[in-house]
Structure 1
Amino acid sequence: MSDYTDLFLDSTSQAQLNTAYAFPIAVYQSNLAQKRLGYVTFHWHEEIQYCCVLSGRIRILIGAHEYTANAGEGFFINTNQLHSIRPLHEKNGDNRYICLDIHPKLLYLFPESILAEKYIFPILHDPNIPFIKFSPHILWQRKVLTIIKKIYAVYEKQSSGFEFDIMRLLLLLWKFFFLNQGAFEKPFPSWQIHYQPQIKMILTYIHVHYAEKISLTDLSHAIFLSESECCRVFKRYLHRTIFEYIIEYRLNQSMLLLISTTKTINTISYETGFSNASYYILRFKEKLGITPREYRRIMISKRNS
């Protein structure tokens, strides 16, 4: 299955994942080197996510915590958890991982079922279980990693009736979760659980207004926090300042325009919130090591080759 080179985010930073309504699971390999910025930016989605790292070393940022997963290891990200996935080292070669995006309704069939009430919802709705890391050195986790790879192989082959095999494997996967939930780490202190909605509101505001001049005063008023609290919580949670994130998001949006339109560099700079083209080019080169014009030429050349 092809890599989703970059996520489509709606104006709330909620990712719109490519899971079909009739069978809501997406199975694919992802390579961080193929992302526009070299990583998956902060986002969240209703789907739960299982990943198994095939090569390289990656960082998973979730809440104020940072985890490392090496080749052979894996992880689970719970529903609606704000997260980002990045290479452990900047510009580090091959960082590939299998990814399963699964809407929870595929597991529990209907909300009032015993599967939902007894086995699925207690983990799905526990704010203290945002993330689980899998090691091949722990028996039940090694079994989980094996099942993730089996699901990928079954999905790739898509033999007649493959959906039955995937359902069987998914339920077995969750059974391992339920039976071993006492071993889960509980990494989120209460302040992170409390502030996650505000962080999502800040991101939503930036994603809606990135093309405009964004003032800290307007932002703080929109989410009902003081300016100082806004800055403190955002930096503590996402490990960067609000200003740094705004620049990052504007660059990401400009890259979309560079590869999908013939607009001039000057026009793109203004449409993505930069005060002038010179400042835009400076920031772009600082982040990617090349100018916007060079980036456009390289991407067009790759697309046509």
Structure 2
Amino acid sequence: MNKATLKEARIHGNARYPISIYPIVCPPDEPLLDLHWHDEMELLLVTAGQAVFRVDATDYEVAAGEAIFVASGDLHSGSVLGSEPCSFIAVVFHPELLGSGAIDLTLEHYIQPIVQKKRIAPVHLTHAVPHAAELLTLLETLIELNVQKPPVYELTTRGMLLLIMAKLYMLTEGPAPAQRQRSTDDYRIERLKSVLHYMHEHFSEPIKLSQLAGLVSMSEAYFCRFFKEITAKSPMEYLNQYRMQQAAILLRETDKKMMEVALDVGFNNLSYFIEVFKEHYGNTPAAYRRKGPVD
């Protein structure tokens, strides 16, 4: 199985300071966060509005002031909840930032068990739980620190991340009583990643359900149930959503004609392309292009 399936290609920070802060603002009629995964851990703090984040096969409704924790390798995506725009700030960091390059006691006892999922950290973090509330306060301070960049902010950031991980460790369950179930879930996610990778690589080509099911040696009926259980969409719904996202990029960033855009994202029927695009974005492709990029 190709471990690189659907892996995000973006480099977060750099080798000497592997952390990045991403502020995101999204209107309700556009995808908030595309389905992806990466080796880094991530904390997503909602700052305005509400969102639904899906981590592996579970949905979490997250309000302003709350956050989610995404472990290394977890599939995750998000959508705006409600009719108002949603804003969030993503803090993406590699576990290497927490250590000195050698496995010391703190890494061995507290960090590695979370990275390796021997202790299971909660995903949804709210102020209702004391350790989570303290973590959220630290997270807000860490974000501000990396925006302002005062003297020695890198060293302070590393210290604050260790404090955040300490709070997270206090919230973990372990040794995980459902380790066998977790292994089964991880295997299922890996199989799904291979299918998603194929979709992303071949979305401009005709793709049949039988092709996708064959990638993971499943019957079409079982594959549809398997796919929807994890993504909450049918395979074709997901494929069309991804195609429309690519079409939206082409409409914003190129002056290609509508038929060219349709063909580039796998549609040879312009009327059907317009119909599907309108279902996803609430506007025709032409109206979407006129509206211009979202500030």
Among 92, 98, 101, the residue aligned to 1:110: 101
Q: What is aligned with 2:145? A: 154
- Size of the aligned set, in residue pairs, is 289
Among 160, 163, 168, the residue aligned to 2:159: 168
Q: Structure 1, unaligned stretches of length 5 or more?
A: 1-10
Counterpart mapping for 1:1-305 below 5 A = 12-21=5-14, 22-33=16-27, 37-89=30-82, 92-110=83-101, 112-126=103-117, 129=120, 131-182=122-173, 189-190=181-182, 191-299=184-292
CA spacing shift, 1:102–1:138, aligned 2, 3 Å: same
CA spacing shift, 1:287–1:186, aligned 2, 3 Å: farther
Residues 148-204 of structure 1, C-alpha deviations (whole Å, 9 max, x = no match): 000011111101211011011001111122233239998995553331111111100
CA spacing shift, 1:198–1:168, aligned 2, 3 Å: same
Q: Structure 2: how far apart are the matches of 1:184 and 1:143?
A: 24
Paired letter, 1:141? A
Q: Structure 2: how far apart are the matches of 1:77 and 1:249?
A: 22
Checking the alignment, whether the CA contact within 8 Å between 1:73 and 1:135 is kept in structure 2 is yes
Checking the alignment, whether the CA contact within 8 Å between 2:118 and 2:174 is kept in structure 1 is no
Checking the alignment, whether the CA contact within 8 Å between 2:21 and 2:143 is kept in structure 1 is yes
After TM superposition, the score normalised by the length of structure 1 is 0.86
After TM superposition, the score normalised by the length of structure 2 is 0.89
Residues 272-300 of structure 1, C-alpha deviations (whole Å, 9 max, x = no match): 10121111111111211111111112116
Q: CA RMSD in A?
A: 2.5
CA spacing shift, 1:293–1:111, aligned 2, 3 Å: farther
Residues 112-166 of structure 1, C-alpha deviations (whole Å, 9 max, x = no match): 3434322211111117737522121222111100000000111111012110110
Name segments (4+ residues, structure 1) moved above 6 Å. 183-188
Question: SS of 2:123's equivalent?
Answer: strand
Paired letter, 1:48? M
Question: SS of 1:126's equivalent?
Answer: coil
Question: SS of 1:213's equivalent?
Answer: coil
Q: Structure 2: how far apart are the matches of 1:76 and 1:187?
A: 19
Q: Structure 2, unaligned stretches of length 5 or more?
A: none
Q: Structure 1: how far apart are the matches of 2:117 and 2:220?
A: 30
Q: CA deviation at 1:44?
A: 0.9
Question: SS of 1:67's equivalent?
Answer: strand
Percent of aligned pairs with the same amino acid? 26
Residues 76-128 of structure 1, C-alpha deviations (whole Å, 9 max, x = no match): 11111011111222xx2132222211111111332634343222111111177
Paired letter, 2:69? F
Question: SS of 1:49's equivalent?
Answer: strand
